[in-house]
Amino acid sequence: MRYRWAGLWLALWLCAISASATETIRIATFKAELKRNGPGLLLRDLSRGKDKQITAVVEVISQTQPDILALQGFDWDHENRALSAFVEMLEQAGVSYPHVFAHKPNSGVASDLDLNANGRLGEAADAIGFGLFTGHGGLAVLSRFPIRAEGVASFTNLKWRDLPGHIMPTAPNGKPFPSQAVQNVLPLSSSAHWAIPIQLLDGTELTLLTWKGTPPVFDGPEDMNGRHNHDETRLWSLYLSGELGSVPARPFVLAGSATMDPNDSDGRPDALRALLADPALQDPEPRSSGGADAPAQGHVTDSALDTVDWPSPGPGRLRVDYVLPSADLMVEGQGVFWPLSGQPGYDAALSASRHRLVWVDITP
């Protein structure tokens, strides 16, 4: 009898281990726009605890409870003090992220060159990634699970000219735009491109691929930003096909902001369309009731899929933020946090950012 009970307890314990190891994992991306106009100002606002936008961002995250969160538009500092303060605020709101990853992005890093060819130096557009100061509007990853930082693959320092098949701009005379000197140093990433291994409960790894694309507008006939955005997205297609070295180990999830709608954005959507159609990925097409209920814009993309609401005279609502699991993962649910008016979280979603948090639930 004693051995029978021992066998029963062993079976129950193994079932519990199996269930916990295969739990549903929520992966989200959120361009929270937690950036300020000078270094240290975000930390100041976090420390005061009275900033309404920060409070709204915390509420959005606490309501959606992602297990792994790719965050864009968050000011980076050398000691990650702002990120630590933000994680502490989330902890107080009931969301715990014991593991974080944030390295210096390209945004705001001075180039000492005239990158936009306007005859002036030292402007935000002259940084190797647009920004007012080093780290302005960078990236961060927050996770319930351990991040294997030593295994991170970063393409942040990859020169744009070294991307196979790049479409860097040329001037009307056929010479490199804005100059050969600029094209010699300009990185592909306006912020960063990271492939981050994350250890799950059963000891297996999930690789998070994340980035933030530059807006494909605000340039001239040379279409520098449109070309830049195209190639920043195309990097992932090359990585998945093995043209930039080893392909990422499965399972993986691509989560970030392309700053591009596949149908309705200005710019060059071909790279994004190719990525969405890549057989290594699946597109769960996260949607929201708030987006679906918004007035029609005459756009091709279904309004329920929209993830950003740029006010007039901007482009309006578009789908620009994505969570794309590898094809081998089981998708259990999806959504864009954009409640209907009067529903819980509606005011927070609109106050937090022009972008909405996008999430997908997967089972490894």
pTM: 0.93
Q: Which domains does the chain have, with CATH numbers?
A: 24-363 (3.60.10.10)
Beta-bridge mates of residue 330: 363
pLDDT at 19 over 70: no
Cis amide linkage into residue 311, ω under 30° from 0:
no
Q: What gap in Å lies between CA 86 and CA 100, rounded to an integer?
A: 11
Mean pLDDT, range 259-280, rounded to an integer: 97
Give residue 148's pLDDT.
97
On average, the pLDDT of the chain sits at: 93
Q: What gap in Å lies between CA 64 and CA 357, rounded to an integer?
A: 8
Contact 352, 63 (CB under 8 A): no
Give residue 5's pLDDT.
45
Residue 98's region, left for phi above 0, alpha for psi from -120 to 50, else beta, is alpha
pLDDT at 277 over 70: yes
Greatest CA separation for the chain: 90
Take residue 38 and report the two structure tokens written for it. 């000078």
Summarize pLDDT for 307-328 with one digit per residue, the tens: 999 987 889 999 999 999 999 9
Separation of CA 315 from chain center: 20
Mean pLDDT, range 161-174, rounded to an integer: 95
Summarize pLDDT for 97-144 with one digit per residue, the tens: 999 999 999 999 999 888 888 889 999 999 999 999 999 999 999 999
